[in-house]
A and B are shown apart, each in its own frame.
Chain A
Amino acid sequence: MRLLQKLKRGYNSGSKSHAKYAYTVSRVRAMKSKLLPKEAYPRLMNMSIDEITRFIGESGYKEDVDELALKYDGVDLVEHSLNRNLSVTFRKLLNISEGEVNFLIAEYLKEYDIWNIKTILRGDYCKASKEEVLEAIVAGGSLTYTFLSELAAKGSYEEIISEFEGTEYYPILKDYDGTNLSDVENHLDKLYYDGLFVVAGSSKSKDRKLFAKFIRVGIDITNLMILFRLKKAELYDPQMMDLMIEGGLEIDLKTIQKLMPFSFEEFINELEKYSYWKEISDLVSPDMKSLIDVETRLKKHRLKSAASFSHVYPISIVPIMDYMLSKQNEVNNLRIIVRGKAAGLDDDTIKEQLVI
């Protein structure tokens, strides 16, 4: 009997989930093929905001633009449509997956729950109106849009935080006293990554290992960007270690601790040891003025490595994560173009910011 149960368990965790992956992954790949191609961006750059709205209204964002056109117009319409589309897409991913895949995607999407909590608290902090807060909300995680808009309408942060009683976020949020927003935000981010590593480390399955590797490359890139900014601003305070995220693939906390007191030039020389150097070597120099190029290049590297990683492991969690990254990137790019145009920035400045 026990043998039978063991066999059944083995069957459930191994081969059966393979077929589930095949379904979800091929669906996600079909979804990826519908993303805007690279060539679309130069065309978008030449359009006015209304033309862009029409362009995206005729592509994958049709439903969102149609639905929201009654309520908003101009830049707001694009912004809300993009956010709505992003949350609908991520919800769809949760709906078309089951078992382990679903669990891993849900864990990854907690990023949006945290993002939304942060947005609402920030909105409260700077006394933004409900509409302004809603503009930045992406209900991609487990918190629904209705719940979040109710939160955004609340008058004080105490009321907002009391709504989270009983959730995993409450122990961190209850320390918020109206002034220490950045601490709370950092703790929330750390909670997110800790959660991811608990999930990734709790099982020895191949998928979770891939998932962990994917997350760790992301952490490396984020840490590198923070380091670049710190060095550029000539901040060498060891307290800045609080900003760093633990668990990078190549650059762990110990290395960062070692890099912390370095000047910008020493830091660049030290970077040559890591694989990320070959991606950014032509852009980085001790007297560089702007970090935008480097940050864009690092983000591009992340996208590219995710794409090639997904070809190495075609039937696994990786193509799904790759899609999520590409989708986020597309929405970000569109937002940069529209917001840039609305603010009257010149084309070159906007182009610099795009990750294509």
Chain B
Amino acid sequence: MVTEAVTMTDPAGLKAIGAALAVGLTGLASAYAERDIGAAAIGAMAENEGLFGKGLILTVIPETIVIFGLVVAILML
């Protein structure tokens, strides 16, 4: 009787790939979003230093995207 060799993929590996995608892609997305905001914040700060606090907060708001990614990754593993 000929039997086929059954190859099993370790599910832990797939999970790791999923987690990597979750963090990696969301990281890219927030970087993309922060680029314009950061540039604008620097511009506003160059004219008025008092805007540092506001500029900083607005710049890191897209950081939430990568935090969601991180949470999903942690839940997965």
A contacts, CB < 8 Å to B: 18-20, 22-27, 29-31, 34, 96, 315
Contacts and interface: CB of A to CB of B under 8 A. Distances in A.
Interface stretch (B2-10, B44-52, B64-72): B44-52
B37 interface: yes
B24 interface: no
Contact of A27 (B35, B37, B46): B46
A31 B51 CA distance: 13
A31 B36 CA distance: 19
Contact of A22 (B36, B48, B51): B36
B61 interface: no
Nearest to B44: A26
6 contacts: A19-B36, A20-B39, A25-B40, A34-B47, A96-B46, A315-B36
Contacts of A24: 43
B42 interface: yes
Nearest to B46: A27
A244 B35 CA distance: 45
B19 interface: no
B53 to A, nearest CB: 15
Contacts of A30: 43-44, 46-48, 51
Contact of B47 (A22, A27, A315): A27
Contacts of B39: 19-20, 22-23, 26
B23 interface: no
B44 A27 contact: yes
A26 B43 contact: yes
Contacts of A34: 47
Contacts of B22: none
Contacts of A25: 40, 43
A19 B59 CA distance: 13
Contacts of A29: 44
Contacts of B51: 30
Contacts of A18: 36
B47 A31 contact: yes
Contacts of B37: 22
B35 A19 contact: yes
Query: Which of B37, B39, B41, B43 is packed against the most chain A CB atoms within 10 Å?
Result: B43
B60 to A, nearest CB: 16
Nearest to A27: B43
Contacts of A23: 39-40, 42-43
Nearest to B37: A22
A54 to B, nearest CB: 24
A315 B37 CA distance: 11
A26 B35 contact: no
A315 B36 CA distance: 10
A19 B42 CA distance: 11
B34 to A, nearest CB: 10
Given A18-B36, A19-B35, A19-B36, A26 B41 contact: yes
